[in-house]
Amino acid sequence: MHPCRSLPIALLVAVATVLAGCATTSTGGGTRGNIASRDKAATLDRLYEQFWQEGLELNPLQATFQGDARYNDELPNLLSADYRKRTHDFNARWLKKVQALGPAGLDGQDLISYEIFVHDAGYALQGEQFPGWMLPVNQFYNFANLAATLGSGNGAQPFRTVRDYDNWRKRAAQLPAIFDQAIANMREGVAKGVVQPRALMDRVVPQLDALIRDKPEDTLFWTPVKTMPPSFSDADKARITADYRELIAQQLTPAYRRLRDYIANDYMAHTRASVGVAALPNGAAWYAWNARQGTTTDLTPAQIHQTGLDEVARVQGELRKVMQQAGYKGSLQEFFRFMRSDRRFAYKNDGAILSRYRDIGARVSAALPKLFSPLPRASLEIQPVEPYRAATVPAGEYQGPSADGKRPGVFYVNTSDVPRRRTWEAEDLFLHEAIPGHHVQVALQQELIGLPKFRRNGGETAFAEGWGLYAESLGKELGMYQDPYDYAGYLLNSLWRATRLVVDTGLHAQGWSRERALQYMLDNTAGTPAEANAEIERYLAIPGQALAYKIGELKIEALRTRAEQALGPKFDLRQFHAQVLKDGSVPLDVLDAKIDRWIKAQQAATPAATAPPASKTATAPAQ
């Protein structure tokens, strides 16, 4: 699982692709004190609801991704100057309304909601100084790919009823204007020296070529026509078929060709040989903002770079201890190759892979109540990835349970390509993706009710992925990592995340070349050249995003240490975990403040009030 940091405010200026696949929910308890405080909280709740509804009108794609079908036929020009102005006015107006009430007298969830709203709105407005709109296309995020996903029926756009089909026809008719706006924005970027690296755009043209076909019937946009429900009348089928043929042939395909030809024949000549954001006008400040947004902290790129160097050195030191424990005599680089290639870490068959994960699930579930209370009510199933999508899915991924708890969470294990799988990755991967990682966090969020929609439908990558990495670190406390090579597997993954801090900041703030970044990753991790290249291209396309993972983990670990030192014998790990998770996904600075408040409350509490909670019998069973 790769939860999104779906800022419902900042997202209004984006393409909204980051919302695909995200539907996290959050809440928790909290008392409302005197009448004035209750009245203020109630007023804020009304404002948040009005803000949310107006936001969906402003960005109909966001509504679609949230399952709200009211605006499925609408698509404003999200890349236009007029839309940026409307979005600025929207964000500034709502921030002013909320800040006019202020946080005084708020506590519990009301205070956290206020802090998150102000935090996210502030970041959205700060980011307007940086002309990201001049860079509307890269190989990871661009409107052409988003449109193909929506129009193929493989995304959030529904194709179940005749009205659904008509909605997409009306929405898709607006795409050519957005594509033409993307070209205009890139032209302005060329004039002002704000252009993409050549290394990224070389990947884009083949993506567009794959979507352009001479016949409408050969495009992805024809898929809904081929899969039209049999319940449609013959007249509706005939009309929809004719409408879609005209739409694709006369509007969509020409728009795709214009975008492709501009990039290949004009824009490509103006792309830059440099790779980092710092090479762009005001690039240092731009990347610093990206780093703050990605980590939801005030850490500077220089601080993050040094943190990464320190963490790489620390983890490599731990690996050397494991090598000594296992009796391995070679160098660290030789150990990397040994871990990748030695046959002792291979599985015999796909059944052995699934069996190993199910055994791990049973052992972790049995140990979970020692560290967690409460536990989620939703159960977890372990299933193999379906064959039709196995080639594009990593070793494991998580799908959250339904909000009503009727559908369990699922940890999907990729049992295909058996020679690529390694036994030592299993324990670490299960702890991250399933229990106590994403399943415990997401399922607990979905069991909480009553928060404003901007929180229920939002999420922070730094929190969610930081929790996933922190969950990996709990392995020994949960009885895992008994084999030194399993522990080495955890350390290898931790090392990979640590190098992200060094390489991302190196590329964008330290003037590193792509070659230097690649060599650093090959020298310091067990990754292959192909894996390292793919990571670097991700950092170039989404500067600062990859910083969130390790920074989130380190923040949670630091807060645990702070609480242990401050509370001494009063500290209870189950209570700490409950405090971290009980309010859902929050920015790290908000998490820091709320844990500080909890520590002070624990210090002031009587011994009876701080007794460890009773252990729950539920164990989020893996099946």
Position 371 scores a pLDDT of 97
CB 205 within 8 A of CB 260: yes
Q: Which domain holds residue 221?
A: 138-281
Q: Does residue 346 carry a pLDDT above 70?
A: yes
Enter the tokens of residue 350: 């796909």
Does the pLDDT value for residue 616 go beyond 80?
Answer: no
494 shares its domain with 607: yes
Same-domain status, 488 and 391: yes
* Least reliable range by pLDDT among 21-25, 152-156, 198-202: 21-25
Query: Same domain, yes or no, for 344 and 220?
Result: no
Count of domains observed in the chain: 2
Residue with tokens 């996290």: 24
**Are 289 and 396 in the same domain?**
yes
Q: Are 258 and 292 contained in the same domain?
A: no
Q: Nearest Cα to 16, choosing from 83, 82, 98?
A: 83
Residues 6+ apart with CB under 8 A from 260: 205, 208, 209, 212
Instruction: Assess contact for 241 and 165: CB atoms under 8 A.
Output: no
The residue out of 281, 313, 341 marking a domain boundary is: 281
HEC letters along 371-438: CCCCCCCCCEEEEECCHHHHHHCCCEEEECCCCCCCCCEEEEECCCCHHHCCHHHHHHHHHHHCCCCH
Query: Rounded mean pLDDT of the chain?
Result: 90
Largest CA distance in the chain: 75
| Confidence band for 494, pLDDT divided at 50, 70 and 90 | very high
Identify the pLDDT of residue 459.
80
Do 16 and 42 belong to one domain? yes
312 and 414 fall within a common domain:
yes
Q: Order of strands across the sheet with 396-399?
A: 380-384, 409-413, 396-399
**Alpha-carbon distances of 3 from 8, 353, 441, rounded to whole Å:** 14, 25, 11
Q: Spell out the residues 6+ positions from residue 191 whose beta carbon is closer than 8 angstroms to its own.
A: none
Element containing residue 318 per DSSP (H, E): helix 301-326
User: For the chain, what percent of residues have pLDDT higher than 70?
Assistant: 91
What's residue 268's pLDDT?
97
pLDDT at residue 36, rounded to an integer: 79
622: helix, coil or strand?
A: strand
Q: Is 392 exposed, middle or buried (0-12, 13-18, 19+ CB in 10 A)?
A: exposed
Residue 10 pLDDT greater than 80, yes or no: no
Torsion of CA 204, 205, 208, 210, to 10 degrees: -110
Give the CA distances from residue 94 to residues 49, 58, 459, 581, in Å, rounded to whole numbers and listed in that order: 11, 13, 20, 28
Domain shared by 509 and 385, yes or no: yes
Q: What is the mean pLDDT of residues 571-579?
A: 97
How far are the Cα atoms of 14, 272, 304, 544 from residue 508, in angstroms, in the given order? 21, 14, 12, 9
Chain centroid to CA 387:
25
Q: Do 78 and 142 reside in the same domain of the chain?
A: no
Q: Are strands 380-384 and 396-399 parallel, antiparallel or unpaired?
A: unpaired
The yes-or-no verdict on residue 37 having pLDDT over 90 is: no
Q: Are 415 and 354 in contact (CB under 8 A)?
A: yes
Distance CA 289, CA 67 (A): 31
Q: Which helix (H) or strand (E) element contains residue 313?
A: helix 301-326
Q: Grade residue 622 by pLDDT with cuts at 50, 70 and 90.
A: very low
Q: What CATH number does residue 350 fall under?
A: 1.10.1370
SS3 assignment, position 67:
coil
By CB neighbour count within 10 A (0-12 exposed, 13-18 middle, 19+ buried), where does 457 fall? buried
Reported confidence tier of residue 388, pLDDT bands at 50, 70, 90:
confident
Radius of gyration of the chain (CA): 25
| Alpha-carbon dihedral sign for residues 345, 349, 354, 355 | negative
- Confidence check: pLDDT of 621 > 70: no
What pLDDT does residue 25 have?
31
Element (H, E) at 578: helix 573-581
Distance of CA 438 to the CA centre of its chain: 12
Whether 539 and 275 have beta carbons less than 8 Å apart is answered as no
Inter-CA distances, 422 with 152, 243, 356, 583, Å: 35, 50, 11, 36
Helix or strand run (H / E) with residue 261: helix 253-262
Cβ atoms within 10 Å of 149's Cβ, excluding its own: 16
Question: 393 and 311 in one domain?
Answer: yes
Are 299 and 176 contained in the same domain?
no
What is the DSSP secondary-structure string of 264-301? IIIIHHH-BS--SGGGSTTHHHHHHHHHHHHHTS---H
In the listed set 281, 310, 328, which residue is the last one of a domain according to the structure?
A: 281
**507/600 same-domain check:** yes
Task: Note the pLDDT of residue 406.
Answer: 76
pLDDT tens-digit series, residues 233-281:
999 999 999 999 999 999 999 999 999 999 999 999 999 999 999 999 9
Query: Which tokens go with 499?
Result: 């190098």
For residue range 161-190, what is the model confidence (pLDDT) as tens digits? Answer: 999 999 999 999 999 999 999 999 999 999
Q: Is residue 145 within 8 Å of 221, Cβ to Cβ?
A: no
Number of C-beta neighbours around residue 250 at 10 A: 13
pLDDT at res. 33: 55
Q: How many CA atoms lie within 13 A of 27 on its CB side?
A: 12
Among the three residues 229, 260, 281, which one is the final residue of a domain in this structure?
Answer: 281
477, 371 Cβ separation under 8 angstroms: yes
Asked whether the predicted pLDDT for residue 104 surpasses 90, the reply is yes
